[in-house]
Amino acid sequence: MKSFPMFLTMAGRRVVIVGGDEQAAQKSRLILKTEAEIVLAAPELEPELAALVDSGRASHYAGPITPDLFRGAALVFIGTGCPGIDASIHAIAKEAGVVVNVVDQPHLCDATTPSLVDRDPVVVAIGTEGTAPVLGRQIKTQIETMLDPRLGGFAALAGRLRDAVAFRVPKEARREFWRRTFSGAAWEKHRSGAEREAAQMLKAEIEAGGIAEPTMGSIALVGAGPGARDLLTMRAVARLQEADIIYYDRLVDPDVLELARRDAERVFVGKEVGAHSWPQDKINQVIVASAKQGKKVVRLKSGDPSLFGRSTEEMAAAEAAGIEVEIVPGVTSASAAAASLNRALTERGQTDHVVISTGTCRPGAPNPDWGRMLNEGATLALYMAVARAGEIADTLMGNGAPADCTVEIVARASHSDEAIWKTTLGDLARTVAEDGVENPAIILVRRPKFIEPEAQRAKG
């Protein structure tokens, strides 16, 4: 390790930034996150920097560059835009014995600026010792998805209560109290936006000497998206990393499960082809039973839980048992299919509404009224409809849809083995049969609006 990472106390200390253009502005944005006094040294300042001076957040120095300008500064950043001038100013700054960073000249840097994940007062710094800044930014993106946006506020609340904990909670119980604080009910309340209630819960527990009453677990119905794990939401990743037990479906990509805690229990509850499947009532029972044991339960579903995911039944079971339940949305397969096709689900002047339907209903239930769904200006997105493609096409055409309507099929959207077919409504059944199209797949049928030709409108 050539560089030693350290957090510097910046409150009330002076940081000198030499330069008046974009390079100096970039460093200013970084230091503005601290409580340092900022000095901008340049003959003239671009508008963003001038606004900082006008607001009183920084001061402007337009005089000669001498060692006295830098003496006593906590940090110096040099970025005039000219490498030669920067090197000259670096030599002057070093006469003052300060720590210097010169933009884009690592050999002149006493310190480099890391990529930051900011959840003030929680800060994560990622450095590559100047060798691979792009890699540092990629790691930052990964960590951003791991840390809840509200984490900093909760950490600040905990900091304000430290003296009360030291006074009320016995020393031998404090470690368990803080462990519970950052993984228990108070954190869950704060993260959901109930900040005042979270603070009251912590204060009540402190008054009780750090003893918490047993609490119920929780259930999160989490959308795993269409497949690719980088399409998960930040909230979905957070719930996976907090879960004690995960009940997952067949269509959930194994890579998604790698985002979970290593010690989380994983239970497959999906339906394998040719194998016995879990009935919905049994799934309802086991997720509720796990939550009653105080566990954080994730019911992981492909796509979005609110679309053909039986979420209503699982939420009703949880609510009947008095268990807190939430839905974490996921990218639905229709959106992923459109992205794979590199086109939108709607197009101005052509299709102005999207209808989502299923091709597979509960045994014994009547078919959806597909014929009424595909009116002019519609895009019809059909889920799990491959096996009934011929019947659906006949129904749509029987209700007036032209046989030449554009049809696009995307199987396993966003997966490495994704496949795409483009056909027409009249040829849909033949395409599915001859090419062996299988679920999971999305069928998109587009019926653009009829637009009267310009010449015909003029004649009329």
Two tokens at 240?
């996976």
Residue 116 makes CB contacts below 8 A (sequence gap 6+) with 30, 33, 123, 124, 125, 126, 140
> Which three-class secondary structure state does DSSP give residue 457?
helix
The tens digit of pLDDT for each residue in 230-243 reads 999 988 998 998 89
In CATH, what class is 334-447? Answer: alpha beta
- Percent of the chain exceeding pLDDT 90 equals 75
Q: Is residue 459's pLDDT more than 70?
A: no
Q: Confidence class of residue 411 from pLDDT cuts 50, 70 and 90?
A: very high
Q: What's the Cα-to-Cα distance from 417 to each of 223, 230, 340, rounded to whole Å?
A: 21, 16, 12
What's the pLDDT at 272? 55
Residue 305 structure tokens = 């839980």
pTM over 0.75: no
What residue ranges do the domains of the chain occupy? 14-113, 151-207, 218-331, 334-447
* Cis amide bond preceding 121, omega within 30: yes
pLDDT reported for residue 362: 76
Q: Please say whether the structural domain 218-331 has been given the CATH code 3.20.20.70.
A: no
Per residue in 145-195, pLDDT (tens digit) is 888 999 999 999 999 999 999 999 999 889 889 988 998 889 989 988 999
**What is the predicted pLDDT for the residue at 273?**
47
Task: Give the catalytic positions in this structure.
Answer: 249, 271
Average model confidence (pLDDT) across the chain: 91
Coil, strand, or helix at residue 328? strand
Torsion, CA 146, CA 152, CA 157, CA 161, rounded to 10: 80
Identical fold for domains 14-113 and 218-331, yes or no, is no
Which range among 83-87, 184-188, 425-429 shows the weakest confidence by mean pLDDT?
A: 184-188
Q: How confident is the model at residue 451 (pLDDT cuts 50, 70, 90)?
A: low
Of 99, 131, 127, 132, nearest to 113 by C-alpha is 127
Q: Kindly report, residue by residue over 261-310, the tens digit of the pLDDT.
A: 888 999 999 765 444 578 889 999 999 999 999 899 999 999 999 998 88
Q: Going by C-beta distance under 8 Å and a sequence separation of 6 or more, which residues neighbour residue 137?
A: 115
DSSP-derived secondary structure for 176-235: HHHHHHTTSHHHHHHHTT-HHHHHHHHHHHHHTTSPPPP---EEEEEE-BSS-GGGS-HH
User: Measured at the alpha carbon of residue 349, what is the angle toward residues 354 and 355, in degrees to the nearest 5?
Assistant: 10
CATH 3.40.50.720 holds for 14-113:
yes
- Please check the confidence at residue 402 and state whether its pLDDT lies above 70: yes
